[in-house]
């Protein structure tokens, strides 16, 4: 048996087509979704991400603003900008690109974003709403993981899902979302004993640890779906996931590649969140 590759790029393109159509319908009702992206400083990777977010807005037909601020920007100045964007009607979503320069308190900045505009899903109240099952904007990468599983035709309810990694931005919210989809969820992390034995019980295995090729076939139950959230830059310049893709091809039924798996989904889910925020702000259901 050989695993079916989950084509994240294709699935992401398909969702973007759906978003383009829905945005066109919203515009006919006089609503244009708007996203503000804030970049502080010159981090090269962040610059690339912000550029991709700007392009994605253009592609789906959103209004967008990119605020590129110098690295010396004070926390007070940044908070003042966020307050302005919180009150700006043309803006439905605010994304502050992380990491921020060391002199700015990231938590204070995230907390300042109005809940309805928290398209990253990082605000503590968004996280709380996710945990108790209230409506909230879902963090983009975790939402992308769920979308990839569903669009691969894999049923989540009743399955055993094992999440390796417990970060606030991926591991914990992915586990919560899988539980919300009625999976039985186990979370493994750096202090877990017998990790491969636990992982090998998973029907759904999600890996987000930031260690290149750390997970091989000894962690994978035959027939499992394997979702690799890791993106690691190797010494030769190539990208590698947290999963040893080649080694797992035999045992897995479905597996995401890196690049081209989870990665393309993140910005697409950001677009989806912005559209949802725009609909909610204008009292449009569905």
Which residue numbers are catalytic?
53, 97, 120
Minimum CB distance to ligand GUN smaller for 205 or for 269: 269
Minimum CB distance to ligand GUN smaller for 198 or for 231: 231
Q: How far apart are CA 277 and CA 218, in angstroms?
A: 42
Closest approach, Cβ 182 to ligand GUN, in A, equals 26
Minimum CB distance to ligand GUN smaller for 120 or for 181: 120
Q: Does 140 bind ligand GUN (CB under 6 A)?
A: yes
Q: Which segments of 139-262 does DSSP mark as H helices, in order?
A: 140-151, 171-180, 195-199, 245-248
Q: Does 97 bind ligand GUN (CB under 6 A)?
A: yes
Closest CA to 3 of 202, 191, 227: 227
Closest approach, Cβ 53 to ligand GUN, in A, equals 9
Q: Does 109 bind ligand GUN (CB under 6 A)?
A: no
Residues 6 or more apart from 200 whose CB is under 8 A from it? 218, 219, 220, 221
Q: Which of 120, 147, 181, 203 binds ligand GUN (CB under 6 A)?
A: 120
Q: Does 66 bind ligand GUN (CB under 6 A)?
A: no
Minimum CB distance to ligand GUN smaller for 139 or for 212: 139
Q: Which of 66, 69, 98, 154 binds ligand GUN (CB under 6 A)?
A: 98
Identify whether the C-beta of residue 26 lies closer than 8 Å to the C-beta of residue 275: yes
Q: Which of 81, 95, 199, 225 binds ligand GUN (CB under 6 A)?
A: 95
Minimum CB distance to ligand GUN smaller for 12 or for 251: 12
The single residue listed with the structure tokens 């930031």 is 210
Q: What is the largest CA-CA distance in the chain?
A: 58
Name the strands in the sheet holding 160-164, side by side, starting at the edge strand that comes first in the sequence: 4-5, 254-255, 225-228, 204-207, 160-164, 184-188
Question: Which residues ranging from 201 to 220 are in contact with ligand GUN (CB under 6 A)?
Answer: none
Q: Does 96 bind ligand GUN (CB under 6 A)?
A: yes
Q: How far apart are CA 131 and CA 8, in angstroms?
A: 26
Q: How far apart are CA 165 and CA 187, in angstroms?
A: 7
Closest CB to ligand GUN belongs to which residue?
A: 98
Chain contacts with ligand GUN (rule: CB under 6 A): 95-98, 120, 140
């Amino acid at each position: 048996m050989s695993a079916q590759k989950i084509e994240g790029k294709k699935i992401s393109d398909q969702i973007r087509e759906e978003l383009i159509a829905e945005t066109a319908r919203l515009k006919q009702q006089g609503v244009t979704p708007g996203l503000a992206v804030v970049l502080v400083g010159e981090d090269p990777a962040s610059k690339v991400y912000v550029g991709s977010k700007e392009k994605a807005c253009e592609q789906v037909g959103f209004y967008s603003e990119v605020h590129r601020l110098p690295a010396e920007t004070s926390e007070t100045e940044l908070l003042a900008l966020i307050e302005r964007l919180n009150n700006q009607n043309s803006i439905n979503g605010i994304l502050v690109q992380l990491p921020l320069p060391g002199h700015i308190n990231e938590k204070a900045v995230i907390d300042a974003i109005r809940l309805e505009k928290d398209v990253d899903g990082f605000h503590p109240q968004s996280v709380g709403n996710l945990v108790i099952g209230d409506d909230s904007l879902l963090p983009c990468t975790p939402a992308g993981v769920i979308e990839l599983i569903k669009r691969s035709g894999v049923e989540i309810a009743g399955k055993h899902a094992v999440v390796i990694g417990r970060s606030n931005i991926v591991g914990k919210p992915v586990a919560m979302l899988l539980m919300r989809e009625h999976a039985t969820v186990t979370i493994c992390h750096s202090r877990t004993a017998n990790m491969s034995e636990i992982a090998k019980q998973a029907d759904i295995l999600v890996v987000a640890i930031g260690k290149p090729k750390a997970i091989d076939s000894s962690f994978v139950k035959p027939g499992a779906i394997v979702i690799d959230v890791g993106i690691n830059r190797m010494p030769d310049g190539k990208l590698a996931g947290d999963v040893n893709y080649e080694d797992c091809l035999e045992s897995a039924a479905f597996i995401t590649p890196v690049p081209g798996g989870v990665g393309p989904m993140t910005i697409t889910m950001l677009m989806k969140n912005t559209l949802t925020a725009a609909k909610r702000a204008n009292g449009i259901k569905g």
